[in-house]
Amino acid sequence: MLAKLPQVRHINIEDGPGRPLGRSFQVKLWPTFVFMRDGKVIKEAVRPNAGEIWEGLESLAGPNH
């Protein structure tokens, strides 16, 4: 999916129980995808299917991707 949207940057961050990153985003279930632009959450997807991931990526890419 990312190959179709080269303007979207992917950062894979691993977190776990008791670590501050997941708690700061109120993550309770894994995997949780947090789609952010300029430090602001645009969309979140908890245990997403492929369609939900694509929607999140499109929301970052903008309407004219």
Cα 24 to chain centroid, rounded: 14
Per-residue pLDDT, 27:
84
* Alpha helices in the chain, H assignment, sequence order: 20-24, 50-61
Q: What is the pLDDT of residues 14-37, one digit of tens each?
A: 887 777 888 888 888 888 999 999
| Cis status of the peptide bond prior to 31, with omega within 30 of 0 | yes
Look up the pTM and report it. 0.81
**Res. 64: pLDDT tops 70:** no
Give the side-chain half-sphere CA count within 13 A for 18. Answer: 0
**Sign, CA torsion 37/2/10/43:** positive
Instruction: Supply the pLDDT for residue 21.
Output: 83
Handedness of CA 5, 1, 42, 13 (dihedral sign): negative
